[in-house]
Amino acid sequence: MDPLEQVRLGPIAQIAVSVKDVPRATGFYRDVLRIPFLFEAPGLAFFQCGEIMLMLSHPSSAEFDHPSAILYFRVDAIEQAYEALVDRGVAFIDAPHVVHRDNSMELWMAFFRDPDGNVLAIRQEKRLTS
């Protein structure tokens, strides 16, 4: 077997989010969302999201000058997380709501935007008891 066929990608290590104003975005992610801040470099800010590093940066070219993919943050209690973020000034697109239900759980989500228009969400899997 060709050794290159055995190469597999590992877990996601870093996600880059394009922002127009790195200091403003840094304040939002650090102070409002309270994601652990790691360090800054010229035009960049890095945060630790569990095992994934989040990098905020200016778009490196026109092809990257658009909102990012949606980042979904797992929370333990979506109603409390929603209230805490509203208290910190986050304007939600919608309130926490069920997006999927089966016999064992409900998946709840609520969506909001960062200062650059990137869509973010909080999500909770609520296990159903019988």
Query: Residues 41-52: pLDDT tens digits?
Result: 999 999 999 999
Range of 117's domain? Answer: 13-127
Q: Which CATH number goes with the domain that contains 108?
A: 3.10.180.10
Query: Residues 96-119: pLDDT tens digits?
Result: 999 999 999 999 999 999 999 899
The answer to whether 60 and 107 are in contact (CB under 8 A) is no
pLDDT for 130 beyond 70: no
Structurally, the chain folds into a number of domains equal to 1
Look at residue 30 and tell me if it is in a domain.
Answer: yes
The larger pLDDT score, comparing residue 21 to residue 61, is at 21
pLDDT for 66 beyond 90: no
Which of 76, 73, 71 is CA-nearest to residue 126?
Answer: 76
pLDDT of residue 8: 79
Integer angstrom CA distances of residue 8 from 2, 12, 23, 24, 100: 13, 12, 36, 37, 31
The whole-number average pLDDT for the span 25-36 is 97
Look at residue 75 and tell me if it is in a domain.
Answer: yes
Look at residue 3 and tell me if it is in a domain.
Answer: no
